[in-house]
Structure 1
Amino acid sequence: GPGMDVIIPWGSVAPAAPPCSLTDVMSEQLARQLDEENSAFPAIADPTSDLLLVDDAPDTTSDLMLAQMLQMQFDREFDNQLRREEKKFNGDSKVSISFENYRKVHPYEDSDSSEDEVDWQDTRHDPYRAEKPQTTPRKGFTGKGKNITTKHDEVTCGRKNTARMDNFAPEIHVGDGLGMDLKLSNQVFNSLKQHCYSEQRRSARLHEKKEHSTAEQAVDPRTRLLMYKMVNAGVLENINGCISTGKESVVFHADGGSLDEQPVPEEVVLKVFKTTLNEFKNRDRYIKDDYRFIDRFSKLNPRKVIRLWAEKEMHNLSRMKKAEIPCPEVVLLKKHILVMSFIGKDHVPAPKLKDAMLSSEDMKTAYHQVLHLMQQLYQECHLVHADLSEYNILWHQGKVWLIDVSQSVEPTHPHGLEFLFRDCRNVSTFFQKRGVSEALNMYDLFNTVTGLNIPVGAEDEFIAEVTRSHLIKPRLY
């Protein structure tokens, strides 16, 4: 009707706000947000102070302090990662491992560590850590009246003994008894301590023996170094391998080089004398009574004695070479290693007389050669081989060669003629077994070699007569 206000759905719209740019809108919102944030904090007199720390917080304007705080934050992040790794590694296992030693921040120094994370093992209250026994005061007892406890109390002494096990050597394993309330009696503890000392001494002996005695095939570290030096110096081209082993030495084959601009034989051998201590009991009698070495013999220093042994073989070979007796030629002596010419060809050593396949004629020839060499050795070289047998005689190029003369002595040696008689027995027995009809018995062979005329009788009487007739004067060379 005419009196009613008609509302038109598409009536006029209220006038819009004046348009503004997006930059004005953003700056206005930013200002309002900053104003709200500032009103949420109390007024601060010093804007540089850190609200998250206590009142006496350090000055953060220092670069050093800021760096330390940043490093602390990094350390805590590292520790959080370590916790996760530890939890993942342990899982639900009853036996767990701890990365405590790798933490950057100790747990009770980190005030922000929360209770719901993995528990850190506090070493100050470790239930498995051995408690230090109570010390007895100087007066010697604690307590009063019936509760008095002296330093001789069984329980106190037992705990002290258990704690002392921690002082044993590292190689002595005492188990986890230190973490238990064990009470070791004095008797048990003393037995354990004595066992610990014994094990240490035994270990030291084994180590010393390994270092100072020859190891596998007589090549200990010192010997190996000497051999390497020979190769480096050009004396040897290379060392090929072991060709013979014995009770007292090991022989290696090598290719010769040059020494002092002089050529070394194309094939040589290295005779390495063993330095194991148990061999010297048998060697002493060959050196200590030899007047050539008596002033230098020392039973207390086996390494020096073994050098004398090698030097003695060198001198004996040189003396035999002058008499033109077939034997190895000395090239070089270096401590207990003797380099000699090789008897053989193309890396194949000449066979020992016991292994040589000889005809009866060759065996007869070998016998006469050995007899002649024994006479030469005794009369011209003034030596007794002292270990002559089919094992130390080689057959090469149709004749016999003598080797292993390290134990050879002069006839004037107190046991020289006894050694010679033993050689005669070995030679006579071998050739008689091989069917050499001309082979003399040991008594006649001894008289033939020495030129003596000792009557043949029982062996004991013959040896006694040999000892009595030992009147030859020593000859100096």
Structure 2
Amino acid sequence: LSVSLSVSLSLCLSVFLSVSDLLLSDEVSDTTSDLMLAKMLQMQFDREFDDQLRREEKKFNGDSKVSISFENYRMVHPYEDSDSSEDEVDWQDTRHDPYRADKPQTTPRKGFTGKGKNITTKHDEVTCGRKNTARMDNFAPEVLVGDGLGMDLKLSNQVFNSLKQHCYSEQRRSARLHEKKEHSTAEQAVDPRTRLLMYKMVNAGVLEHINGCISTGKESVVFHADGGSLEEQPVPDEVVLKVFKTTLNEFKNRDRYIKDDYRFKDRFSKLNPRKVIRLWAEKEMHNLTRMKKAEIPCPEVVLLKKHILVMSFIGKDHVPAPKLKDVKLGSEDMKNAFYQVLHLMQLLYQECNLVHADLSEYNMLWHEGKVWLIDVSQSIEPTHPHGLEFLFRDWMSFTVLDVEVGAS
């Protein structure tokens, strides 16, 4: 009540001051009529009321996205609030532009305009040609339609439909190329999604920074990185990121190693080719975990994130351990390596219940006088339908080292 009383007093005071100013002004001739004075007082009072109404409307709506308007309760129409005595007239040329797509020429309901010989229907060639020219403004921005300003261009329906179909075809082709670029494997297996995953690992502190590529193969690319920290387990100072390629172009027979593996066959049948890559990385993680429990020299798993497997680095000071194929060993070291590989195959089969399935000098490293096994994503159990076949193939690859050593 006190607030309403103060508002009313302020309104009355403002009206009184306005009337006093009018009476004391020199232009007394405009206020000699009582009717004019009453209208001016009423106008002033209505404006004060409208200002109060606007404040109440603003307070009522607040920050709500849906607002309620009090315009119907206003006392003064908006056009009466304008200070300008006369609206300005734009004397620019307002003739109809036949090339503007937002203002096409319309045809009456009866379907034609004019009389007698001057009848023009909606199928008129000139009218349709100009409308088609105007509709070209609605094409995609990347479609170059040219500048037809000042020219009386007319496109036939056949030409316009051909241009429209070409425009749609280009848009679809551009979308396919963009999607293919985003989802395909770029050089060194780093597509935009993979790059984002690697960035998130660095941003989360799992990795300090990624140094570069140290190895490439038919199924993956290996990057060297400096380790960071994890809450669950310690991270080595040097780690590797094994990024499995997200396409099957170079290694198309992956399903042979995984679809008959009882650990993954139920999940494999329900996945598309891109998600199979994640299953492939998970398979290597489980195989490495088995091998680590059997104390077989192999990389230690740190983290698995989709198709990126983070493992301990086999090497020292950013220098990776050489492959057994590339290292130059003496006769004694060669014999030692031969018996180590023989023992590793035995442990892998008996303790881990696994067959490497791709054993060769390219998948073994020589570090600190020991042979280290790597690339076990394709390793399977002996119960696999092709388990004995792969075991025999591993043994035949192993005999190459046997011949080099000279022990038969």
Instruction: Give, in whole Å, the separation in 1 of the partners of 2:118 and 2:271.
Output: 62
Q: TM-score, normalised by structure 2?
A: 0.66
Deviations along 1:409-434, one digit per CA (max 9) or x if unpaired, are 22333444444454445444x548x8
Q: Is the contact made by 2:239 and 2:311 (CA closer than 8 Å) also made in structure 1?
A: yes
Normalized against structure 1, the TM-score is what?
0.58
Question: Pick from 335, 359, 368: which aligns with 1:388?
Answer: 359
**Residue 170 of structure 1 pairs with residue 141 of structure 2:** yes
Superposed CA offset, 1:372-422 (max 9, x none): 433433343222323333322212222321111112222333444444454
Residue type at the aligned position of 1:174: V
- The alignment partner of 2:362 has SS state of coil
1:247 alignment counterpart: 218
Q: Report the alpha carbon displacement of residue 341 of structure 1 after superposing the two structures with TM.
A: 1.3
2:128 corresponds to: 157
Matches within 5 A, 1:126-205: 130=100, 134-143=105-114, 148-177=119-148, 180-205=151-176
Note if contact 1:298-1:304 (Cα within 8 Å) is conserved in structure 2: no
Following TM superposition, the consecutive aligned residue runs of length 4 or more in structure 1 with deviations greater than 6 angstroms are none
Q: Does the CA-based 8 Å contact 1:250-1:273 persist in structure 2?
A: yes
Mean CA deviation greater in 395-404 or 147-156 = 147-156
Q: Which moved more, 1:316-325 or 1:275-284?
A: 275-284
Q: Give, in angstroms, the shift of residue 315 of structure 1.
A: 0.4
> What one-letter code is carried by the residue in structure 1 that aligns with 2:322?
P
The answer for the alignment partner of 1:297 in structure 2 is 268
Report what 2:59 is aligned to: none
Can you list the C-alpha shifts for 1:410-465, whole angstroms capped at 9, x where unaligned?
A: 2333444444454445444x548x844446xxxxxxxxxxxxxxxxxxxxxxxxxx
Aligned partner of 1:413 in structure 2 is: 384
Instruction: State the match for 1:442 in structure 2.
Output: none
Matches of 2:325 and 2:138, distance apart in 1: 61
Paired with 2:144 and 2:113, the residues of 1 have a C-alpha distance of: 34
Structure 1 residues 243 and 48, CA gap change in structure 2 (3 angstroms):
farther
Contact 1:163 1:178 in 2 (8 A): no
Specify the SS of the correspondent of 2:344: helix
324, 327, 332: which one pairs with 2:298? 327
Q: Percent identity?
A: 84
**Residue from 318, 328, 339 that aligns with 1:347:** 318
Q: Shift of residue 350 of structure 1? A: 0.6
Q: Quick one: distance in 2 between partners of 1:299 and 1:203?
A: 30
- Partner Cα separation in structure 1 for residue 28 and residue 144 of structure 2: 62
Secondary structure at 1:254's aligned position in 2? strand
Partner of 1:313: 284
1:242 Cα deviation after fit: 2.4
Report SS of the residue matched to 1:395. strand
Structure 2 CA distance for aligned equivalents of residues 408 and 377 of structure 1: 10
Q: Distance in 1 between matches of 2:315 and 2:152?
A: 74
Secondary structure of 1:331's match? strand
Secondary structure at the aligned position of 2:267 is classed as coil
Tell me: CA distance 1:387–1:47, structure 2 relative to 1, closer, same or farther (3 Å).
farther
Q: Does the 8 A contact of 2:247 with 2:274 survive in 1?
A: no
Higher relative contact order (CA 8 A, sep 6+): 2
Are the equivalent residues in 1 in contact too, given 2:321–2:367 (CA < 8 A)? Answer: yes
Higher Cα Rg, which structure: 1
CA–CA separation in structure 1 for the residues paired with 2:168 and 2:377: 42
Q: How many residues align?
A: 328
How many angstroms does 1:229 deviate by? Answer: 4.5
Determine whether 1:403 maps to 2:374. Answer: yes
Cα distance in 1 for residues equivalent to 2:213 and 2:206: 18
Indicate conservation of the 8 Å contact 1:130/1:178, yes or no: no
AA in 1 matched with 2:215 = S
Deviation at 1:166, TM superposition (A): 1.7
Q: Which piece of structure 1 moves more, 317-326 or 178-187?
A: 178-187
Q: Distance in 1 between matches of 2:154 and 2:251?
A: 50
TM-superposed deviation, 1:349: 0.2
Equivalent residue for 2:328, pick from 310, 334, 357: 357
Tell me by how many angstroms 1:217 deviates: 3.7
Q: Given residue 201 of structure 1, which amino acid in structure 2 is its aligned partner?
A: R
Q: Which moved more, 1:324-333 or 1:227-236?
A: 227-236
Does the 8 Å contact 2:98/2:104 carry over to 1?
Answer: no
Q: Which runs of 5+ in 1 are unaligned?
A: 1-44, 50-58, 63-107, 114-121, 440-477
Contact 1:288 1:294 in 2 (8 A): yes
